Structure 1
Amino acid sequence: MTESMTEIRQLFQNEDTPTVAQALVGMYLEHTLPDGSKLGGWIVDCEAYLGPEDEAAHSFGLRKTPRVAAMYQEAGSIYLYHMHRQGILNMVTREAGLPQGVMIRALEPERQYMEKMSENRGGKSGVDLTNGPGKLMSALNVPFDLYGQSIFTSALHLVPEKKRQPKQILALPRIGIPNKGKWTALPLRFVCKGNPYVTKQLKKEISPDWGWQE
């Protein structure tokens, strides 16, 4: 059964952040460019961040800086930041004032857009096109002026009607979270098992159907 946008909004507003992260696996993410053309694909890898208690979250301890202002906005707000000169996409998942969110780590690109996405990535192809958070931002050509806008209504938005159903969603520790006590090992990363675009996916673990139900 395909969710409606109303149901997705309610999910963000009413469910806890790990539940939202799991629901985002298989969700279609689309960017409408200024000329009206589109780029997009299916989310296959994402991570939940449970600030203010999460030591790995930018909003840990209710930290408030201009950088994290969007994290305190309403559910569905887009939080963007740079890391290692790459853009990273996050979606706020709880009500205004409770700074929790989901980072989108990897995307399976829709075939019809792969050529343009490859151009955006300087000719990169295959799984390297969008199997990392900075890679997918570049491939989708996401501008930072979308910071603070809504993932439901902005040029960068979810398309529930195109969601695909994973056969199995794995819960794993997040990547790149060292020395954060229990937060390093907690299974707050959710991936489509067997999909080649999952970050650091081993070739021997790739499924012939890429992890999707029919």
Structure 2
Amino acid sequence: MPALPREFYDRDTTLVARELLGKLLVHRLGDETRIGRIVETEAYLGPHDLAAHSARGLTERTRVMFGPPGHAYVYLIYGMHHCFNVVTQAEGHASAVLIRALEPVQSLSLRAQGPGLLCKAMAIDRSHNGVDLCGASLYITAEQNPPPLRIVRRPRIGVDYAGVWARRLLRFYIARNPHVSKP
């Protein structure tokens, strides 16, 4: 299962967020490989998007977001939960897609519904910040012959502070999938 090419990520963030649905997130951990199907995402469109971390400009925390596409942006929220994002678009654009929920495929014994639970189930933490997702240990791949998907658009979760940006339909999930997180 080869990693998606960098060109996949070097496109419009909203398009990438939609097209990540149904793809497989793979994390190779020594003798174990954990795999989950991506069933929910949120798009963060860059510094003009008041819900994006990059809205505060280039900082040590957001440096990866400003870098080249196809890298992991992993951060800690509330001092206890990790969140996994994929950097999109051209270097300097500072946009990313948050992966919100996974459907278990292989070796996922914990729930992966919600960004914090997803990272815990996939053993993703701050040490993965900046990892090249076109590599061999943590990556996203496409299934052969995936089923057709019905995609639902809704406002993002937990960004009420962002004003009108909180109401933008930038959360995407697979309709009727039982593994989608609960807002």
Q: Alignment partner of 1:53: what SS?
A: coil
Per the alignment, residue 8 of structure 2 pairs with: 11
- TM-score normalized by structure 1? 0.79
Per the alignment, residue 31 of structure 2 pairs with: 36
> 1:177-210: per-residue Cα shift (whole Å, max 9, x none)?
1132220111000000000110118xxxxxxxxx
Kept in 1, the 8 Å contact 2:3–2:135? The answer is: no
- Structure 2: how far apart are the matches of 1:42 and 1:48? 18
How large is the Cα RMSD of the aligned pairs?
2.0
- After the TM superposition, which residues 70-89 of structure 1 pair with which residues of structure 2 at under 5 Å, given as runs? 70-84=64-78, 85-89=80-84
- Structure 2: how far apart are the matches of 1:165 and 1:42? 12
Alignment length, in residue pairs? 182
Post-superposition shift, 1:166?
4.5
- TM-score normalized by structure 2? 0.92
Per the alignment, residue 161 of structure 2 pairs with: 179
The partner residue of 2:112 within 122, 127, 130 is: 130
Q: Alignment partner of 2:6: what SS?
A: helix
Kept in 2, the 8 Å contact 1:26–1:163? The answer is: no
Cα 1:186–1:195 change in 2 (3 A) is same
Amino acid at match of 1:100: S
Q: Alignment partner of 1:139: what SS?
A: helix
Farther off after superposition, 49-58 or 159-168:
159-168
Q: Which runs of no fewer than 5 residues in structure 2 stay unpaired? A: none
- Structure 2: how far apart are the matches of 1:167 and 1:95? 28
Per the alignment, residue 26 of structure 1 pairs with: 22
The partner residue of 1:92 within 81, 87, 108 is: 87
- Structure 2: how far apart are the matches of 1:161 and 1:143? 25
Post-superposition shift, 1:154?
4.7
Kept in 2, the 8 Å contact 1:142–1:156? The answer is: no
- Structure 2: how far apart are the matches of 1:145 and 1:12? 21
Cα 1:164–1:41 change in 2 (3 A) is farther
Post-superposition shift, 1:5?
4.7
Aligned-pair identity (%): 36
Q: Alignment partner of 2:107: what SS?
A: helix
Per the alignment, residue 40 of structure 2 pairs with: 45
Post-superposition shift, 1:163?
7.5
Per the alignment, residue 200 of structure 1 pairs with: 182
- After the TM superposition, which residues 133-212 of structure 1 pair with which residues of structure 2 at under 5 Å, given as runs? 133-161=115-143, 164-200=146-182
Q: Which runs of no fewer than 5 residues in structure 1 stay unpaired? A: 119-128, 202-214
The structure, 1 or 2, with the larger RCO (C-alpha pairs under 8 Å, 6+ apart) is 2
Larger strand share, 1 or 2: 2
